[in-house]
Amino acid sequence: MFPFKIQTHQAIPVRAVQQRGDFANQMLTMIDSEGFDVGCIWFTDEAHFHLNGFVNKQNWRFWGSENPYWCEAKPLYSPKVTVWAAVCSRGIIGPFFIRETVTSERYVAILEQFVATQQVLEDRPRTEWFMQDGARPHRTEQVFRFLDEYFGNRVIALEYPKFTGAGMDWPPYSPDLTPCDYFLWGTLKDIVYPKHPATLDELESAICVPCESISVETLRNVMANFILRLRHLCCANGEHFENIVM
């Protein structure tokens, strides 16, 4: 019998609801009272792209107050590549590809490539912010020391303030706030898979092309949508909300 993995659906923890609400209020205070520009944030994320046309991301989960005991079966051993990218209002850095398991060391190697590219592109060096989610390979001393060296207190990352005493915590269970989740991965999936890539090399090439063609105007709209999502999150008291069409 062909092996499958089971994707389950569960309610968001109460503590995470509070963290999400606190983050939205803090960001909106910075935006409304201090004129903070969210366009200076590099939002980063990674996703598994499978040859069978499936993108493994939290954005494809359903959140609710109760577990509906519904599951979706997907092939377990479909060849895949992990894609990492950074998005801000002025462009996309990446994608970078990993075919092995993502470790802290491999993640830092990607960050080194990102920083090298970002420093060449930016006309305001060392003033950008960096965001990452709370994946376990992201929350290590090696990663936090690297981010502290290049971004200092301009980091939004789960547990980063605990390590450095600076920056902001990224709230867990928040794919609905990450531009890669609510925009980039879905856009790439719609463009890449109709081409029916047959190998991982073809899949990687098919992912690179649309990343280079996304306009700055589109990315500015994506960042504006992030602010709208923060406001909806406050209205929802930290709970997940229906998707917002840009």
pLDDT tens digit sequence for 179-235: 999 999 999 999 999 989 999 999 999 999 999 899 999 999 999 999 999 999 999
How many structural domains are present in the chain?
Answer: 1
Calpha distance 242→145 (Å, rounded): 37
List, for residues 156-167, the tens digit of each pLDDT value: 999 999 999 999
CB-side neighbour CA atoms (13 Å) of 181: 19
For residue 63, being part of any structural domain is answered with no
Positive or negative, the CA dihedral 236, 238, 239, 243 is positive
Q: Is 58 left (phi over 0), alpha (psi -120 to 50) or beta?
A: alpha
Positive or negative, the CA dihedral 120, 122, 123, 127 is negative
For residue 147, being part of any structural domain is answered with yes
Residue 179 main-chain phi, psi, to 5 deg: -55, -35
List, for residues 11-60, the tens digit of each pLDDT value: 678 899 999 999 999 999 999 998 899 999 999 999 999 987 756 654 44
DSSP state, 176? G
Residue that the structure tokens 């107050």 belong to: 65
CA distances to 47, 54, 59, 102, 228 from 97, in Å: 10, 16, 20, 10, 31
For residue 58, being part of any structural domain is answered with no
DSSP assignments along 34-62, one per residue: H---GGGEEEEEEEEEETTS-EE-GGGS-
For residue 68, being part of any structural domain is answered with no
CATH code of residue 185: 3.30.420.10
- pTM, whole model, 2 decimals? 0.84
Residue that the structure tokens 């899949």 belong to: 203
**Domain extent at residue 146:** 14-49+76-240
Calpha distance 26→68 (Å, rounded): 33
For residue 246, being part of any structural domain is answered with no
For residue 71, being part of any structural domain is answered with no
